[in-house]
Amino acid sequence: MNVGIKGFGAYAPSKVIDNAYFESFLETSDEWISKMTGIKERRWAEDDEDTSDMAYKASLEAIEDAGISSKDIDMIIVATSTGDYPFPSVANILQEKLDIGKVASVDQLAACSGFMYAMINAKQFVQSGDYHNVLVVGVDKLSKITDMSDRSTAVLFGDGAGAAIIGEVSEGHGILSYELGSDGSGGKYLYQDQDTHKIVMNGREVFKFAVRIMGEASNKAVEKANLSPDDIDLFIPHQANIRIMESARLRLGIPEEKMSVSVDKYGNTSAASIPLSIDQELKNGKLKDGDTIVLVGFGGGLTWGAITLKWGK
Ligand code: ACO
């Protein structure tokens, strides 16, 4: 069975925060942020717009794109590190908001690799024949756990959501291979502090890890699919930092014009970052039916995941 993305949707909040915003209360500059990260602006949700609200909007679009009704969804998996509450899960809240039947719904946490993990989880349920339309959402409201007094993290993060209906797709489409992994010994480099509830990051260590793992995981997934870098039409890495993305691209041997870049518009949106990039490339016509793409994420845990996929239903 070919399992892939039957429908897709994304949502970014309308409030745009540019780099200059931080200059008034942090010792930083638009020049430093642009040069060191590639970020020019990010979106922040309003106080009364929570993670599940963003997930809801992206999901509606995905359901419509799949041409199904919410009643056809038989499982919900949400990848997030910033749920509305520790429990109930965002997936539980979505089940009610979308008026989906009383189906299995669960959140899973793999930080910025979350969308990769959720897609592959969903794939197994569909492949087994037990489930047919799994709603997978990657969503984060990082603005609510960002320490705005820490210049080395405050400027990096944004909010957003992406959703996919994972199900059976036609011959020549769907997920070709994947590579998932984790290394808990790196947990100390990127975590949410239990007292402040804010993100703590050792940027240099995360940078070193990310550069190595993005290249390694992508290469392994490409090999598993018996592809060569020349076969790749589009490379969509987790949008954390343009310098990390560039180095992963070079390790994979992909030309510059084949890499998706949306970090300039959205910053790092964690589990939403890869789907927001997919959305951008669909809208600008760079991602088309039948394209071979590589998705790769890394994040807190430390975790990683790469997927090769033939786009289309
Ligand atoms: N403006 C100005 N200066 C800054 C800023 C800022 N916003 N942030 C840090 N600096 C300073 C530091 O204080 C340091 O100053 P010092 O030399 O006087 O001590 C100097 O810049 C260099 O700092 P480094 O941290 O060594 O700089 P680096 O080249 O590593 O860049 C960055 C920092 C951009 C954070 C980089 O390390 C990075 O991108 N790391 C990975 C971040 C990432 O991908 N996180 C993913 C999170 S994923 C998830 O799961 C949520």
pLDDT of residue 71: 96
Residues with Cβ < 8 Å from 197, sequence gap 6 or more?
A: 145
Ligand 1 atom closest to the CA of 153, numbered from 1:
35
CA 12, CA 36: separation in Å to the nearest integer? 23
pLDDT at site 126:
98
What is the predicted pLDDT for the residue at 217?
96
Q: Let me know how long the chain is.
A: 313
Catalytic-residue membership of 121: no
Is 222 in contact with 232 (CB distance < 8 Å)? Answer: yes
Task: Determine whether 238 is an active site residue.
Answer: yes
272 lines ligand 1 (CB under 6 A): no
CB of 241 shorter than 6 A to ligand 1:
yes
User: Does the annotation mark 173 as catalytic?
Assistant: no
Residue 119 tokens, joined: 């897609």
Burial bucket for residue 93 (CB in 10 Å: 0-12, 13-18, 19+): buried
Which residues in the chain come in under a pLDDT of 70?
none
| Closest Cα to atom 30 of ligand 1 | 204
Tokens of 95: 């089940």
Cα(84) to ligand 1 centroid in Å equals 28
C-alpha 158 – ligand 1 centre gap (Å):
16
Question: 3-class DSSP state for residue 259?
Answer: strand
Q: What is the pLDDT of residues 292-307, one digit of tens each?
A: 999 999 999 999 999 9
The label of the residue with tokens 């008034």 reads 24
Helix/strand/coil for 298: strand
* CB-CB contact of 33 with 203 (8 Å): no
Straight-line distance from the first to the last Cα atom of the chain, in angstroms, rounded to the nearest whole number: 13
Q: How far apart are CA 54 and CA 51, in angstroms?
A: 5
State whether the beta carbon of 301 lies less than 6 angstroms from ligand 1: no
- Same fold: 3-168 with 174-310: yes
Residue 33 beta carbon below 6 angstroms from any ligand 1 atom: yes
Residue type at position 252 = L
Between CA 266 and CA 284 the distance in angstroms is 16
Counting from 1 in the atom list of ligand 1, the atom nearest the Cα of 28 is 1
Q: Which is catalytic among the residues 19, 112, 121, 219?
A: 112
Q: In ligand 1, which atom is closest to the CA atom of 111?
A: 50
Domain boundaries, the chain: 3-168, 174-310
Q: What is the pLDDT of residue 310?
A: 98
> Are 232 and 256 in contact, with CB atoms under 8 Å apart?
no
CATH number for region 174-310: 3.40.47.10
| Alpha-carbon gap, residue 266 to 16, rounded angstroms | 9
- What digits encode the pLDDT tens for the residues 255-304? 999 999 999 999 999 999 999 999 999 999 999 999 999 999 999 999 99
CATH for 3-168 (3.40.47.10, 3.30.365.10, 3.40.50.720, 3.30.420.40):
3.40.47.10
Q: Is 132 in the pocket of ligand 1 (CB under 6 A)?
A: no
Q: Is the CB of 271 under 6 A from ligand 1?
A: no
Task: Measure Cα distances from 196 to 146, 147, 154, 301 in Å.
Answer: 10, 9, 14, 19
Radius of gyration over every alpha carbon of the chain, rounded to an integer in angstroms = 18
CA 202 – CA 147 distance, rounded (Å):
14
Closest CA to 57 of 90, 85, 105: 90
Which atom belonging to ligand 1 lies closest to the Cα atom of 299? Answer: 50
pLDDT for 273 equals 98
Q: What is the pLDDT of residue 230?
A: 94
Taking the C-alpha atoms of 275, 224, 190 and 91 in order, what is their torsion angle to the nearest 10 degrees?
Answer: 40
Could you tell me if the CB of 240 is within 6 A of ligand 1?
yes
- DSSP annotation of 301: T
Compute how many other C-beta atoms are within 10 angstroms of the C-beta atom of residue 212: 15
